[in-house]
Amino acid sequence: MTLPSFTSSTAIDSLLFRDAFGTPAMRAIFADSALVSRYIEVEVALARAQGRCGVIPAEAAHEIAQRCSLDALDFELLPDFNNFGRYDRYDGVTKCLPHAPAVCAKALKFDDKGKETRTDYYRMLKLIYESDYAGVITIEFEGHDVDPVEGSLKTKALIQKALKAAAK
């Protein structure tokens, strides 16, 4: 008899207890794959709307709709500016870029000049800009000293400034 791999981290994904806290149908609704599928549907709908309004070329909207799928994503490979532990984050992102479907620009804290205190966004975005990377850059704010919306907007502004500087 082969035992299943016991790698669950919560009661919900536990082989032993999962049905005590939900049903297969409920787990399917809240599965990561269902959540990401909804994200993809929103992004495709946004691209189509932007294509119709002339915000992006209609051909780009069509290509986004054709290429965006759950199967195209590698969930094990999502470079996150702050998830490299002791490993050099700049080297980690550089090595992941050729294979990454997205890059997560995570911010935790800003100094009084609006710069993120743990990651040099100017250095990081220059690495990304100068690479062959063609995916998306997502914004994630996990700070505690700033309102989450304000933190996300600060992160966006920092990305825009750093990309503008990288393009020079």
Tens digits of residue pLDDT in 100-158: 878 889 999 999 999 999 999 999 999 999 998 888 888 888 888 889 999 999 999 99
Q: Which amino acid is it at 14? A: S
Contact 138, 102 (CB under 8 A): yes
Average pLDDT over residues 26-35: 80
The 10 Å Cβ neighbour count of residue 61 is 20
**DSSP 8-state code for residue 137:** E
The 10 Å Cβ neighbour count of residue 55 is 12
CA angle, residues 123, 39, 11, in degrees to nearest 5: 100
pLDDT at 152: 92
Q: Which amino acid is it at 152? A: S
pLDDT at 2: 59
pLDDT above 70: percentage of residues in the chain: 89
In our burial notation (b when 16+ CB lie closer than 10 A, e otherwise), range 123-135 reads: ebbbbbeeeebee
Q: What is the pTM of this model?
A: 0.58
The 10 Å Cβ neighbour count of residue 15 is 12
Here the tokens at position 94 are 């550089």
Cα 6 to Cα 32, 33, 136: the distances in Å are 19, 20, 34
The pLDDT confidence band at residue 52, using thresholds 50, 70 and 90, is very high
Contact 116, 142 (CB under 8 A): no
pLDDT at 121: 96
Which residues make Cβ contacts (< 8 Å) with residue 146, sequence separation at least 6? 110, 154
